[in-house]
With several copies, the nearest count.
Chain A
Amino acid sequence: MAMKKLINQPEALVSELLEGFAIAHEKKVRMEGSNLVVRAHPKATDKVALVTLGGSGHEPALSGFVGEGMLDISVPGEIFAAPGPPRVLEALRKANRDAGTLFVVLNHAGDVLSANLAMDMAKTEGLKVESVLTHEDISGGPRNEPEERRGLVGCLPVIKVAGAAAEMGKSLEECKAIAERMESNMATLALAVSGATHPSTGGVIAEIPDDIMVVGMGQHGEAGGGTQSLKSADETTDIMLTALIDDLTLKSGDNVLVLINGVGSTTLMELYIVLRRVKQGLAEKNITLARSLVGQYLTVQEMGGFQLCIARMDEELLALWDAPCDSPALTVK
């Protein structure tokens, strides 16, 4: 796989992309301190702040979720690498307020280690911080072993509903409870059909033969069947949807949010075709597709495939999902 990326020196990759990001979204975000992404129009300080951290190379995630009704600060790391605790601590200090800070962490080793160290330090300093860990990738392990499950695009609904709650003036405890309710009611499964190249090393990320697809990327596939022959959109969707419905034990009458996240070169055209099938599959089980979101939100460079995230919603979560927001990656009027 030849690398045909429009980049300059690999060392400058992240700083250059953040520079462009800040230009592109100057009405919504700006850079402060040690490359922290903060809101251009900060939220009132009597409201709970939302902070997250994560590697770069997944644009628009995670810094694209900074904005009104979403995150207050994102700490972008190097390509695919968590930022170290000093910058995370800097973000927690900057966010610090009496209302407190909700710290959203995706379950990946580096992120969790860095987040925990920074959290410990922040608490030692007397900062009011609570964290919520997202781990909704059902291919990692069974539901009762949440530590085995990675955090994928499900961070977006968590940030969306917690961000909306914070914007409404809910307390840190309430925001945390909402984030956790959203988190524990969602499940994600990733499909990969083609690989990508690492933008700084040029190395191959996932080499997938021509006639093969992988359900539950990087897994052997308890859920979804893992490496298997390439199938049609409908067959593939059915496999993934069944696994997610099982995991969530969705029942007739449930209302769900469906998030179809393209991870790179898979087109919006394909994602729409998949959504169509998801709706059919849900309807067969009398489950209502209450809301949906289709697009590229958390990418893995030019990898082909998508993440299918399903979340059981209640009235409050739906209202928070519908609340206005204005971030580079998602604007709701």
Chain B
Amino acid sequence: MTLDYDGIAAMLRGGAALVRENQDLLSRLDSVGGDGDHGATMTRAMGCLEAVITADTTRDIKSLLHAVGWAILGVDGGAVGPLLGGFFMAMAPAAQGKTTLDAAELATVFEAGLAGVLKQTKARPGDKTMVDALQPAVDALRSAADAAATVHDALERAADAAEQGAKSTEGLQARFGRAKNIKEQSIGSPDAGATSISLLFRGFSRSVG
């Protein structure tokens, strides 16, 4: 089983929907050490994503990912705009020439996205940022693909890993983003950005047959 243009579009929409449903939770988490706007910013980012999909007439996966990334970059939203926008932008070149993606190809595309994020930030797993969810999710996707899982199963394992990664941030002290300013006080509640990523991947997996 592979994902074509419509499959990718559905996957993205599914992720966006679940993130939006959790806007209040995300803002609440961000208000512990941040400025409480993460839910609003993610909602705006996901709105852009949906609008781009609706407007896109290219039927080309690479173009779609690029357009989604550029639109999210354009969301005035602090840290998350460039990180998440950069994530999708970086995925695009890896989808060059592809009309469908199997699990391995999907992993390759996501790995390119992750690499784009890691080029932008020095945050690594353990620093209590979205990377704590994103890195394990992409790793799990690759492992599942290597183990010949279906696209659906691979995305489900990625979502599980993202969820676990997000949960693990609860015990961590923030070393990046605004929350790092409150030091130890950031311990005890999960990172907002990591939670977003976890919700995004769960939404991806649920909407892929």
Contacts and interface: CB of A to CB of B under 8 A. Distances in A.
A83 B76 contact: yes
A195 interface: no
Interface stretch (B8-16, B134-142, B155-163, B173-181): B173-181
Interface stretch (B36-44, B105-113, B199-207): B36-44
B176 A109 contact: yes
- Report the interface size class on chain B: 20 to 34
B190 interface: no
A217 to B, nearest CB: 8
Interface in B74-88: 74-83, 85-86
Interface in B1-50: 27, 31, 35-37, 40-41
Contacts of A140: 181
Interface stretch (A74-82, A91-99, A173-181, A232-240): A74-82
Which secondary structure characterizes the binding site on chain B? helix
B78 A86 contact: no
Contact of B76 (A78, A109, A116, A198): A78
Interface string B66-79: 00001011111111
B74 A110 contact: no
A184 interface: no
Contacts of B121: 113
Contacts of B70: 86
A148 B80 CA distance: 19
B183 interface: yes
Interface of A: 14, 55, 77-87, 108-110, 113-114, 116-117, 140, 148, 150, 198, 200-201, 203, 205, 218-220
18 contacts: A79-B37, A80-B78, A81-B76, A82-B79, A84-B74, A84-B75, A84-B77, A85-B81, A110-B78, A113-B82, A113-B121, A116-B82, A116-B120, A117-B86, A117-B120, A198-B36, A201-B36, A218-B178
